[in-house]
Amino acid sequence: MLDAGIIGNVVAQPRLLAVLGLTVVLAWPLGRLLGRGSLGTAFIVVVGAVLAATTTTRTPYYSLDGVEVYLRAWTGPAGLVHGFAGTHEKLANIGLFAPPAALATLLWRRPALIVGAATVLSFLIEAWQGFIGRGGDPVDVVHNGVGALLGAGAGFAIRAGYRWRDRKSNSRALTGAGSSTTGR
């Protein structure tokens, strides 16, 4: 839920606001560069918001020790799925990567590549969080990856629905055109 506490937390973080501001400034030109119009712009805005939320902190504490702790946490893979989606934070991590993956799938039609790229991005974001003192968590990578999978699946389903609708209307157009020529 978006409440006053969350809004206050966002406003009190100049780094987060800087990334969001940069996203707003760059969204339209980068979206046009993607060549997909408003869909490309929406993708840039969503990715910028994800980066703002995940790569900034109020008071960074730069240290490679946090990255080392994060990488060491990968040695216990059983803990990566324990309590899967059992908290609001875990569900938020799933939801965080679903929209960009859905938009990317609509843009580039490569769901498997998009899920892989989103998971690698999540891995790098979590390493960065370890570096800035937020504490990277491999469990977040798993949840972000599942979110990307669900988003890419939704994007794929939307594309399939459009293709089905287009084939159906093309079929009707061809049938209508054929019947008018046979009646002569």
pLDDT values of the chain reduced to their tens digit, one per residue, 184 residues: 455 665 666 667 888 889 999 999 999 898 888 877 889 999 999 999 999 989 988 888 899 999 999 999 998 877 777 778 778 888 999 999 999 999 999 999 999 999 999 999 999 999 999 999 998 999 999 999 999 999 999 999 999 887 776 677 666 666 765 455 454 4
Burial 100-139 (b: 16+ CB within 10 A, else e): bbbbbbbbeeebeebbeebbebbbebbebbbbbebebbbb
Are 94 and 152 in a shared domain? yes
pLDDT for residue 77: 75
Task: Look up residue 70 and give its two tokens.
Answer: 């994060």
pLDDT for residue 34: 82
Are 128 and 178 in a shared domain? yes
Are 92 and 177 in a shared domain? yes
Are 110 and 177 in a shared domain? yes
Are 54 and 82 in a shared domain? no
Q: Give the containing element (helix H, strand E) for 49.
A: helix 38-55
Non-local (6+) Cβ contacts of 149 within 8 A are 101, 115
121, 101 Cβ separation under 8 angstroms: no
What is the domain count for the chain?
Answer: 2
pLDDT for residue 32: 85
pLDDT for residue 176: 64
pLDDT for residue 89: 87
pLDDT for residue 184: 46
Q: End of a domain among 59, 86, 107?
A: 59
- DSSP letter for 77, please: G
Are 41 and 119 in a shared domain? no
